[in-house]
Amino acid sequence: MNRWLPRTYLTLVYLLLYVPIVVLVVFSFNESRTGYEWGGLSLRWYEALFNNRAMVQAMWNSLWLALSAATVSTLIGALTALALHRYRFRGKKVLNGMLFIVMMSPEIVLAISLLALFLLVGLQLGYVSLLLAHVTFCLPFVVITVMARLSGFDERLPEAARDLGASDFTMTRTVLIPVIMPALLAGWLLGFTLSLDDVVVSTFVSGPSYEILPLRIYSMVRVGLKPEVNALGTLLLVFSLVMLILSQWILLRSKR
């Protein structure tokens, strides 16, 4: 009794988590058009997906956006974290707090204010507005990840490097960056994922010139669930798994 109660509970939790994903994967290979009956194994939805040029274009757009947003926010975020960690300056606490506000505030608020800002300055809605918006909400996550890593950083390491003859630049390259590398990687991945599946902010700040995947799927689902979406979901799932395994592998390698 005492033994199988927690087990049942755990099983239920995991079922709840994974059954929908399994269903999605299974039905992506379903010959039948309807989502509730099995019509035999088929790759027709994958074919349909890749023949849908607008869909493929949206996928590339999304990937490119996520890639650039993650990279830009990692660069800015790492420098911000370094500044917050290393220097004392006026308004440091405020700056630190403001990062959290961006992270905690409802997405819809951020979306509206960004849209208002872009309209105000007359920015054409498209790739640039999306990039700016995505960098904005990815930034705090990068900063916090890197700062957590820096908090365990021995302040004497840069001095030791200097003492052994390294210039500031060499010290950064050979000592600082290797130490915070795992955090940079984690922050980048976090940003990439956040950007890739964002709907709310993107809805507001995207334009017709640059369609991205989450919005495309969202509009497809509104007119009825097409099995193509299952195929797409499966592909994204595989992609995320590969990314996850890759990042873990890099982290493990850097620890050794």
Print the binding letters for residues 236-255 with other proteins: x by CB under 8 A, - otherwise: ------------------x-
Sole window of 16-24, 31-39, 126-134, 175-183 interacting with other proteins (rule: CB under 8 A):
175-183
CB of 162 to other proteins, least distance (A): 5
Sole window of 62-70, 83-91, 112-120, 167-175 interacting with other proteins (rule: CB under 8 A):
167-175
Question: Does 102 participate in binding other proteins (rule CB under 8 A)?
Answer: no
CB of 149 to other proteins, least distance (A): 12
Contacting other proteins (CB under 8 A), which of 18, 34, 178, 246? 178
Question: Does 170 participate in binding other proteins (rule CB under 8 A)?
Answer: yes
Question: Does 86 participate in binding other proteins (rule CB under 8 A)?
Answer: no
Residues of span 179-238 touching other proteins by CB under 8 A: 179
What value, to the nearest 5°, has the Cα angle with vertex 248 and ends 243 and 249?
Answer: 95
Contacting other proteins (CB under 8 A), which of 162, 220, 237, 250? 162
Distance (Å, whole) CA 66 – CA 138: 10
Closer to other proteins by CB, 107 or 154: give it: 154
Sole window of 53-61, 150-158, 201-209, 245-253 interacting with other proteins (rule: CB under 8 A):
150-158
Which residue ranges make up the site for other proteins (CB under 8 A)? 154, 156-157, 159-167, 170, 174-175, 178-179, 254
